[in-house]
Structure 1
Amino acid sequence: MPRMFLNGTAMRGGALHHLVGDAELVAETTTAPRYRFHAVEGAYPGLEDVGPGNGGAVAGEVYEMSWEQLREVLLPGEPAGLELGVIELADGSGSLAMILRRPHTELPTVDITERGSWRAYREQP
Structure 2
Amino acid sequence: MRMFLNGTAMSGGADHHLVGDSPLVARTTTAPRYRFHAVDGRYPALEDVGPGGAAVVGEVYEMDPAQLREVLLPGEPDGLELGVIELADGSGSLAMVLRREYPRLPPLIDISELASWRAYLERRQ
- Normalising by the smaller structure, the TM-score range is over 0.9
- The runs of 5 or more residues in structure 2 that have no matched partner are none
Give 1:71 deviation, angstroms.
0.2
Per the TM alignment, residue 24 of structure 1 is displaced from its structure 2 partner at its CA by: 0.3
Matches within 5 A, 1:1-125: 2-51=1-50, 53-104=51-102, 106-124=105-123, 125=125
Deviates more, 1:41-50 or 1:98-107: 98-107
C-alpha distance in 1 between matches for 2:108 and 2:68: 26
SS at match of 1:119: helix
1-structure distance, mates of 2:56, 2:82: 17
Identical columns (%): 75
Deviations 1:3-55 (A, max 9, x none): 0000000000000000000000000000000000000011000000001x221
Q: TM-score, normalised by structure 2?
A: 0.95
Q: Return the alpha-carbon distance in structure 2 between the equivalents of residues 16 and 8 of structure 1.
A: 9
For the residue of structure 2 that corresponds to 1:19, the secondary structure is: helix
What's the CA shift string for 1:56-99, capped at 9, x where partnerless? 00000000010000000000000000000000000000000000
Shift, 1:103, TM fit: 2.8
The aligned amino acid for 1:4 is: M
Runs of 4+ in 1 over 4 A off after TM superposition: none
Deviation, 1:121, is: 0.5
TM-score by length of 1: 0.95
- Structural RMSD (CA): 1.0
Which secondary structure state, in structure 1, belongs to the residue aligned with residue 121 of structure 2? helix
> What number of residue pairs does the alignment pair up?
123
